[in-house]
Amino acid sequence: MVGDVDWLSEDELRDWMQFRRLLTVLPARLSRDLVPTGLSAPDYEVLSTLSEREDRAWGLRDFAEKMQWSRSRLSHHAARMEARGLITRAPDPDDARGSIYHLTEAGLQALVEAAPMHVDSVRRRLLDHLEPGELAALGRLSRRIADLPD
């Protein structure tokens, strides 16, 4: 009916559909592989981003921007993670409106335990099945598309 749009060529449609499937299936698999660690994919992202700072602390605004999350989303998720003891939030001494996010020992611990499994998952689900040059091409292509104006 409308599925066989003639605004895309048959080839375009096929390739796009396949890519669209990857877009949904791959993240779902990576997320599922993480379940046994007790961390969700968003949890892992938060912990791993926080851990990149030497002091393991970050203000919400920059933190959200770095993660490309909305501040609201990060605040909500952080509230849940704080309740689980993975991170803490403290008032910013330099700006009373601000909030400093901090990785706890437990959070770091959880991340360290989950990381090898996650890396293995990325390999098994993706990297192992790409030719050397394919990954590089995929990286370049991804950057080009992702860097387009919003």
CB 43 within 8 A of CB 30: no
CA-to-CA distance for 9 and 84, rounded, in angstroms?
A: 50
Nearest to 88 by CA among 66, 57, 112: 57
Spatial CB neighbours of 57, under 8 Å, sequence gap ≥ 6: 50, 100, 101, 102, 103
Judged by beta carbon distances under 5 to 8 A according to partner kind, the member of DNA, a copy of itself, none in contact with residue 70 is DNA
Least distance in angstroms from the C-beta of 121 to DNA: 15
Site residues, DNA (CB under 7 A):
28, 32, 35, 40, 42-43, 59-61, 64, 69-73, 75-80, 89, 92, 95-99
Residue 60 touching a copy of itself (CB under 8 A): no
CA-to-CA distance for 3 and 84, rounded, in angstroms?
A: 45
If the CB atoms of residues 21 and 140 are measured against DNA, the closer one turns out to be 21
Residue from 66, 84, 102, 125 in contact with a copy of itself (CB under 8 A): 125
Residue 146 touching a copy of itself (CB under 8 A): yes
Binding mask 65-84 for a copy of itself (x = CB under 8 A): ---x----------------
If the CB atoms of residues 2 and 96 are measured against DNA, the closer one turns out to be 96
Residue 51 touching a copy of itself (CB under 8 A): yes
If the CB atoms of residues 52 and 95 are measured against DNA, the closer one turns out to be 95
The 57-59 sheet, strands edge to edge: 57-59, 95-103, 87-92
